[in-house]
Amino acid sequence: MNEEEIKPDKVLDCIGLYCPIPIFNTTQEMEKIEPGQVLEMITDDPAAVQDIPRWAKRAGHQFLKWFKEDEHFHFLIRKG
């Protein structure tokens, strides 16, 4: 019943930053990790809920999931 916990290899804090900065920063961080590793990006920009999954698909990465914790959105992306 309990969803498998995905452990990110790296966490990127984009709180207080608004489009397009979270995508720009996420792109830079994805270049630093190995294929198959998972990046967790955290932001308080509601536009990211639409933007990040689309960006991940375009960039060739696997968008795993997003969830909201307090006022922050958490995105899990596996490098393609």
Q: Is residue 17 part of a domain?
A: yes
Q: Is residue 25 part of a domain?
A: yes
Q: Is residue 28 part of a domain?
A: yes
Report whether 40 contacts 72 (CB < 8 A).
Answer: no
Q: Is residue 4 part of a domain?
A: no
Q: Is residue 1 part of a domain?
A: no
Single pTM value for the model: 0.92
Q: Is 71 exposed, middle or buried (0-12, 13-18, 19+ CB in 10 A)?
A: exposed
Roughly what angle, to the nearest 10 degrees, separates helices 21-32 and 48-59? Answer: 40
Q: Could you tell me the residue range of the domain that residue 44 belongs to?
A: 10-78
The residue type of 31 is: E
Q: Is the pLDDT of residue 31 over 50?
A: yes
What's the CATH code of the domain at 24?
Answer: 3.30.110.40
Provide the annotated active-site residues.
Answer: 19
Q: Is residue 3 part of a domain?
A: no
Q: Is residue 20 part of a domain?
A: yes
Q: Is residue 34 part of a domain?
A: yes
Number of domains in the chain: 1
Q: How confident is the model at residue 2 (pLDDT cuts 50, 70, 90)?
A: very low
| 2 token code pair | 């309990």
Average pLDDT, stretch 20-41? Answer: 97
